[in-house]
Amino acid sequence: MHDDRTLVEARLRRVLDERIRPAVHPESVPLRVAVWHAPGEPVPVAEGLAAQPEPIEVGARWGAPWGTSWFRVTGTVPKAWAGRTVEALLDLGFDENMPGFQCEGLVHRPDGTPVKGLNPRNQWVRIGAPVAGGEEVVLHIEAASNPVILDYHPFRPTPLGDKDTAGHEPQYTLTRMDLAVFDESVWQLVMDLEVLDELMAELPVDSARRYDILRAVEQALDAVDLQDVNGTAGRARQRLTGVLSAPAVPSAHRISAVGHAHIDSAWLWPLRETVRKVARTASNMTALIEDEPEFVFAMSQAQQWAWVKEHRPEVWARVKKAVAEGRFVPAGGMWVESDTNMPGSEAMARQFVHGKRFFLDEFGVDNEEAWLPDTFGFAAGLPQIIKAAGSKWLLTQKISWSQTNKFPHHTFWWEGIDGTRIFTHFPPVDTYNCSMKGSELAHAERNFKDKGRARHSLAPTGWGDGGGGTTREMVAKAARLRDLEGSPAVAWETPRAFFEKAEAEYPEPPVWVGELYLELHRATLTSQARTKQGNRRSEHLLREAELWAATATVRTEFPYPYEELDRIWKTVLLHQFHDILPGSSIAWVHREARATYERLAAELEGIIDAAQRALAGAGDRELVFNAAPHSRAGVLAGGAGARRFPHGTSVAPRAVGGFVLGNGLLRVEIDARGLIVSARDIQADRETVAPGRAAGLLQLHQDFPNMWDAWDVDAFYRNTVTDLTDADSVQAGEDGLSVRVTRSFGDSRVTQVLSLPPGERRLVIDTEVDWHETEKFLKLAFPLDLHAERYASETQFGHVFRPTHTNTSWEAAKFEACNHRFVHFEEPGWGVAVVNDSTYGHDVTRTVRTDGDRGTTTTVRVSLLRAPRFPDPETDQGLHRFRHALIPGASLADAVREGWRINLPERRLTGAHEVAPLVTVDHDAVVITAVKFADDGSGDVVVRFHEAHGGRARATLTAGFEVAEVTATDLLERPSGDKEPPTRDGDRITVRLRPFELVTLRLRPA
């Protein structure tokens, strides 16, 4: 037989495009349209409905950037349409290729009831099925004219990312506002043909199944009268019955489709717009649930649910009904889909505490899965946190974006730093915006790495990023793919149902140990420095506020600020979302974030000050409050007392230019360029700085990645570097403890103050940068005279070791990595730590010297600033302040201690008496991360701690109050069944901890 395959396939596509799809709505009449443009920010629904609109015609331009326009559409259903299905087709000027990334709308009835959302892939509103004819139609559309930031020419700088710079030029053209007849039979024929066309394209060209489909399609096209598609669509569908009813082979891959709308809590739109995106999407999904009995939709991020509850109670009522039916599923158990690299230990824990508690309080749902499809890599401490929150599964898709190495599993155990394992799934469909295309499902089956051992994978199905969700077309395709020869078998299921099946069929999957590093988006550890500093400062202020408020409430009449702390925590957690904290959102988002962090800092400072004054009482005795988890200068951790003042520091001129700092523990030489050429540990008689090198060196790189400007730094940035060695001035500081260095470069200026505190083995480097560079990367380098094949980098509730070499592509790909408060390098018996108060990104390299010594040295470089131009063209322009410290002779314990010290500086206050700690611990490796009152208002004191050195510990906690009962709990402060009960002798509690083990105790005061 002659091969006419390509002829039939081309015929199918033209007939679909030009005849069958247009026949879905065969008759239409125009609606009358009027519009009112809200003058500023979005207005309440009642105000939008009551406004007096002006007539507007289809074809008119509308919508200034970030504006809101209320359209009123009115019309009458023709009597001739009686008995037929009628829809309103409302095209605001959509580009179908940009769902979630441009204008959107929410349709209301005149009484304010939300109907459904409008977006580029969802432009219809059902009027009646069937209609009687003659009905009056009145709809109100709250339309958001969000500008397109990520356009067909992506990553180009644009002023549209902030309403202050976006201008007022209309963005969109009103395209269609009609009433139309909806022909169900033709629409179903479109779905039949699309599914078969997409399936054919994935089958082998020489397969019998492909030709069976081809011949059936040919017969269906022959049955269509192109001048009467509506009258012959049913006849054409009959020709396809056979090929659509052929069952899948028994070995077919099984796909759990989960309705989904990944909604970034902020990204190319501000937080306030996400509130509306969630309402639009939730309206669509509840409507789809009512129409489609098998469809299941999952929505993560408790914050987004809370927004619906607060701002759109009518939508919330529909959501609650669907949740009760088990069809609209709370997923993930986190406050937001946060970054997981940079949030601190407590903050990462509180993501689950606040997220899970919201779903428990509102719906009685206790999530067992963490749902993070789009997060930029996963810290090695996360498995323990997930388990401590009462969860056991993790889903993400993002690791499939890695550029260098392909991850070897799709379903596996992920083992964290403490040995905790979490059952983890990476959907092989490789998208969290699956649309049920045949190419997507075939890719999932081919790509699935666990074939032969497992058969199930998950497909998050629906338009996302900017929301939108699942469409009726996706549901229709899934119905045809439920059991279809040649395709994976598709079923709508909840995340829980998928994980239960996957775990049951694959009880012994492979194990991946350590961090899940994303080999992409490495610059998110540095971009938008002020946002990152705001986060770090907020985390530590919250620690202080809880500690001092709890201590004051137990000891005095101080009222514990439950509501204030709860609200502030949720705000901080929101800003840890994976496009806010990583610095990859538009200018508007980061401008608001800076203002929010300032406001929260002022509020937390007020709580801390009030609590400390209540504790200290009225008096003129100088007290030092120490919120760090280790004693310092004679003041106990969590207490207040008189500071012990050690011997002083000397600053002397250096014979060949520069200065020498000394305090009996360290001797630091700063040359005439203002660079550290020696940092000698006097007791160990050991030099810190690599021979012939200089530390505290600022280095400037060209930084223009191939794409994803705010997200990425590509390895070639290292090819060119400028050492900033020229100094405007190098002077002794007026305090007698420091040296002050100023430099100018490009359009920027930097001031560094290098100081040696009395009695302490640490060199503090305060760096102030007035930054006005473009597409540059600023690093702070410390070449160390250390041979180290690995180094420790702090992460949540412990640290992770990373190699310093690049033996394999996996190690080479980690050329930029994350740390929290410290990195630590060590030869047996002697080490060096670099600690910071607000930076995360860093790189580490090894050098073998070629001189007579031929020793190996190790260089760590802290990432300070970048200057990408997309999506915020003014990223990080302006003044920045950073604090780092170099700790020669540091053990790992010293690194932990100094990391806390630099982030929790002591506070001075005058009062009447010293303050004893509320809780103490007698083991240096056991670090208390939180002392607070229980969230339930019971008055119980909650203490969270972990083993921080990577070894075993037997420690005694002593409460500074009479304890009636001690309970080991999970993160939600519920009794923990898998923790050995602690032993108690009065107010002394003995615990045994495994390496990096996290423990939460609940102490009931007598």
Q: E strands of 54-109, at which residues?
A: 54-55, 61-62, 67-76, 85-91, 104-108
Q: What are the Cα distances from residue 831, in Å, to 694, 790, 826?
A: 18, 12, 4
Pairwise CA distance, residues 426 & 370, whole Å: 12
Alpha-carbon distance of 292 to 505, in angstroms, equals 29
- Cα–Cα distance for residue pair 283/46, rounded to 1 Å: 18
Residue 751 sits at the vertex; the CA angle it makes with 739 and 588, to the nearest 5 degrees, is: 150
**For residue 576, which of 303, 382, 822, 387 has the smallest C-alpha distance?**
303
Is the C-alpha dihedral spanning 66, 72, 77, 78 positive or negative?
negative
Amino acid at 674: G
> What is d(CA 763, CA 695) in angstroms, rounded to the nearest whole number?
11
Cα angle 32-38-43, degrees, rounded to a multiple of 5:
110
Peptide bond into 130 cis (omega under 30): yes
Work out the number of other CB atoms within 10 angstroms of the CB of residue 429: 28
Residue 803 exposed, middle or buried by CB count within 10 Å (0-12, 13-18, 19+): middle
Token duo for residue 332:
């993930």
Quick one: which of 376, 377, 372, 337 has its CA closest to 355? 337
> Residues in the chain, how many?
1006
DSSP string over 791-810:
EEEEETTEEEEEESS-SSHH
Phi then psi for residue 498, to 5 deg, are: -60, -50
Strand, helix or coil at 394? strand
Q: Are 949 and 896 in contact (CB under 8 A)?
A: yes
Would you give the end-to-end CA distance of the chain in angstroms?
91
Give every CB contact of residue 778 below 8 A, 6+ residues apart in sequence: 698, 699, 700, 701, 769, 771, 863, 864, 865, 866
Q: Is 661 within 8 Å of 753 (Cβ atoms)?
A: no
Which residues are 297's β-sheet partners? Answer: 259, 328
H or E segment at 766?
A: strand 763-771
Are 646 and 759 in contact by the 8 Å Cβ rule? The answer is yes
The conformation of residue 263, written as its DSSP 8-state character, comes to B
Q: Which residues contact 66 (CB under 8 A, 6 or more apart)?
A: 144, 145, 146, 147, 163, 166, 270, 273
Cis peptide upstream of residue 705 (ω within 30 degrees of 0): no
CB atoms within 10 A of CB 248: 18
Helix (H, G, I), strand (E, B), or coil: what is residue 594? Answer: helix
Catalytic residue positions, numbered: 374
Spatial contact of 319 and 302, defined as CB atoms under 8 Å apart: no
Yes or no: say if 32 and 73 are a contact pair by the CB < 8 Å rule: yes
**CA distances for 623 relative to 202, 839, 852, 915, 926, angstroms:** 74, 30, 54, 9, 26
Q: SS3 for 648?
A: coil
